Amino acid sequence: MLQKNFSGYVFETGTDEAGRGCLAGPVTAAAVILPADFEHSFLNDSKQLSEKIRESLKPIIEENAICFAVTHLHPDEIDEINILNASMKGMQECILKLNQVPEFIIVDGNRSLNAKLGLKNTFGRQFSATEIELLKSIPNQSIIKGDSKFLSIAAASVLAKTYRDEFMNKIHKEFPMYNWKQNKGYPTKEHREAIKKYGTTKYHRMSFRLLPEQLELDFFEH
């Protein structure tokens, strides 16, 4: 049974991300504040759930949450600030999007959500001084495997995963040869074979090792 609360605060936010290890597509973050009486027997770390169960949980979470937010950080930003910083920035952006300022934040992983605030990146959202101060002011706790321990982090993991899958299904139609509808941009053998055969696209993360061996890659401009 997942725990409902870590801090004792009413407006405690759980946050998580999906797609960190992918070769293509965004890293997607989500943040969720659940009411104190929320419970669901199926809700768990999204990686432990089937796609069908994740999709069934998505509207339940959205309808019952006090508030939630989802953010995509795209490959150009990932390549500029690195995937770890992009993952954290995505969760920070979600906190700023919430229509209720959190009293406490619990984040999946082992890194404080306040780390690396206000990166001066070319791509993506720039935080204002006021936004940085707000993020600094909210106490937070990183929890290893938090998505399998706390309901709000599990809910965030489900939203991050389902919204990211939806995005990958959409861009699959643009570049069907990579079969993103199936592999979601992860480094499967099929995905790497397609990169080897067709080259890269605007959705690939060029800072990642896209192929096991260093080969000349073509790039689709369209």
What is d(CA 147, CA 34) in angstroms, rounded to the nearest whole number?
14
Other CB atoms within a 10 A radius of the CB of residue 78 amount to 28
What is d(CA 180, CA 85) in angstroms, rounded to the nearest whole number?
24
The response to whether 165 counts as a known ligand-binding position is: no
What is d(CA 21, CA 104) in angstroms, rounded to the nearest whole number?
28
For residue 58 the two structure tokens come to 């998505």
* 58 phi/psi in degrees, rounded to 5: -50, -55
CA nearest neighbour of 108 among 59, 56, 149: 149
The response to whether 108 counts as a known ligand-binding position is: yes
**Where on the phi/psi map is residue 5: left (φ > 0), alpha (ψ -120 to 50), or beta?**
beta
The response to whether 147 counts as a known ligand-binding position is: no
For residue 98 the two structure tokens come to 């919430």
Residue 90's identity, in one-letter code, is: G
For residue 134 the two structure tokens come to 């707000």
Binding residues: 16-17, 108
Binding residues for a divalent metal cation: 16-17, 108
